[in-house]
Structure 1
């Protein structure tokens, strides 16, 4: 199964002290693959898009996902978007957004599993406080569909 996460409204694009601090601090957001944060975008990028495959399989009439991008135990699987400061080759994480597979409508997830298209999640990357979006991101703050 293929997944694409599309993020817009990055917090460093907004005016104000918080956005200035994100830009000066060289803050980036990336997707977590195992313990590494990869495919990073600066906090003031126009948009951020991540695309990657995940394994999916039927287990006792339930759909389970796995692979290096997927975290959590069966029945509670999720993806991480991680925020951190970049200094040379070092990424120092300070926040994460959690995208749970359990929040994806069952029919949508099954359609992607059955090859109907790419599972796409769209979300704004600025949180309610004006900073980087973090914690669990639930619909309607993320919209899932198959394209």
Structure 2
């Protein structure tokens, strides 16, 4: 296997097909009236990066990351928004309901799984400077996506930064 160089990488997340500001109740979903989405800081559920409206045409975040290689894991990304728990590395996309005073209350989260990125794609992203995830943000019921976010819901690409 070829050696990978360590370095700075931008993780660019682009979400389309958002559920809207409100979703009616149904099944195990209680319904909400002012839905927004953000990226959660590592190990800090109340620290949300760039809260964006659930009725936006598209949402996006650019996350600074550092790529490194270890014998145990191979090439990995680390950064202030990358969680590292049993089962691998991921980014939380946190869905919140924002009250009249602007306070967010979490309603669900999606795990954008970095383990779904092939080693070859990750190595190419390190070389080019950017790893891009494009995903749909609404599930089959019309609710905000949650649980494990993997292909085919997510398309991963390596791109040149800048």
TM band (smaller chain)? 0.7 to 0.9
Measured after TM superposition, the shift of residue 73 of structure 1 is 3.5
8 A Cα contact 2:21 2:36, kept in partner: no
Which position in structure 2 is the counterpart of 1:28? 36
**Structure with the larger helix share:** 1
Which position in structure 2 is the counterpart of 1:57? 68
Q: State the Cα RMSD in Å.
A: 2.1
Measured after TM superposition, the shift of residue 72 of structure 1 is 1.7
TM-score, normalization: structure 2?
Answer: 0.79
For these two proteins, the number of residue pairs brought into alignment is 141
> Following superposition of structure 1 onto structure 2, how do residues 67-78 of structure 1 map, counting pairs within 5 Å?
67-73=79-85, 76-78=88-90
Which position in structure 1 is the counterpart of 2:5? none
CA–CA separation in structure 1 for the residues paired with 2:87 and 2:145? 24
Which moved further from structure 2: 44-53 or 86-95? Answer: 86-95
Runs (4+) of structure 1 moved beyond 4 Å? none
Measured after TM superposition, the shift of residue 89 of structure 1 is 3.9
TM-score, normalization: structure 1?
Answer: 0.87
Q: Which runs of 5+ in 2 are unaligned?
A: 1-8, 26-30
8 A Cα contact 1:28 1:85, kept in partner: yes
8 A Cα contact 2:21 2:34, kept in partner: no
8 A Cα contact 1:84 1:91, kept in partner: yes
8 A Cα contact 2:82 2:90, kept in partner: yes
Measured after TM superposition, the shift of residue 75 of structure 1 is 6.5
Give yes or no for the alignment of 1:112 onto 2:125: yes
Which position in structure 2 is the counterpart of 1:92? 105
CA–CA separation in structure 1 for the residues paired with 2:123 and 2:111? 21
Which position in structure 1 is the counterpart of 2:10? 2
Give yes or no for the alignment of 1:81 onto 2:93: yes
